[in-house]
Amino acid sequence: MLYWLMKYVLLGPLLRAFWPTKVTGVENVPAEGGAILASNHLAVADSFFMPLHVSRRVTFPAKQEYFTEPGIKGRLKKWFFTGAGQFPIDRSGGTAAQAAIDTAVRLLREGHLLGIYPEGTRSPDGRLYKGKTGVARIALEARVPVIPVAMVGTDRVNPIGSRMWWPRRLEIRFGEPLDFSRYEGLAGDRFVERSITDEIMYALMELSGQEYVDIYAARAKELIAAEEAGLRPTVPVQADARDATRLPESQAG
């Protein structure tokens, strides 16, 4: 109830009024049944504008910290993010990461739409970065299609580090569903999962028009921070492999 109240009464009308959005391909989202909406990730605003233009409820994984902060502020955050259709995930790794994937698979098998950002965090510079294979694992285990979604212009509405949202025209492009049933039974095969993830990222690159960079966005942030500080990066590129299969979350830093 809270989700629909926010979408059609509290928040949705405001977003529609100040941020006119061109939407194409939304008919590619199935009218029923589980499916993954795999989107590029330019800004926090992505998690608000994309669901606004999908008639069905979209559920996103989100950082557990948004649901566990103490005090009145914490309760308000939990109320808000729950109402926005998000569920908490523990990012500490190991069994916690698997629990997050299991939750996502369960939701999809129950017929929900699941929103995922394969990059795992927001792009630091507007380019498209290497996808984490958690999205492939979920698609294979749940046996659902993946619909690529390109968000265009949200980084100008809500730039990284900005607390303000600026009125801008946006565009959301929903691509044709990607069917990976040919890989049925191969969940857990890291080569298959990487191939699927790369196919999803290629579709996002084509749909969004972004330049693709073959490293993880989190690694790119480390390199940018080190360059700005005039330091030589100390974290090896191989460190990205530790996070490759984790479930990408929305609202990441």
Give bridge partners of residue 38 from the DSSP assignment: 116, 148
pLDDT at 211 over 90: yes
Residue 94 to residue 247: CA distance in whole angstroms = 11
Question: What is the architecture of the domain spanning 2-60+90-214?
Answer: 3-Layer(aba) Sandwich (3.40)
Give the position of tokens 């808000």. 80
Residue 113 to residue 30: CA distance in whole angstroms = 9
What integer best gives the mean pLDDT of the chain? 86
Count Cβ atoms below 10 Å from residue 2 Cβ, excluding itself. Answer: 13
Beta strands in 64-145 (DSSP E): 86-89, 113-116, 128-129
Residues 139-154, mean pLDDT to the nearest whole number: 97
84 or 191: which carries more pLDDT confidence?
191
Separation in Å, CA 52 to CA 55, 193, 231: 8, 30, 42
pLDDT at 95: 67
pTM here? 0.85
Residue 53 to residue 46: CA distance in whole angstroms = 11
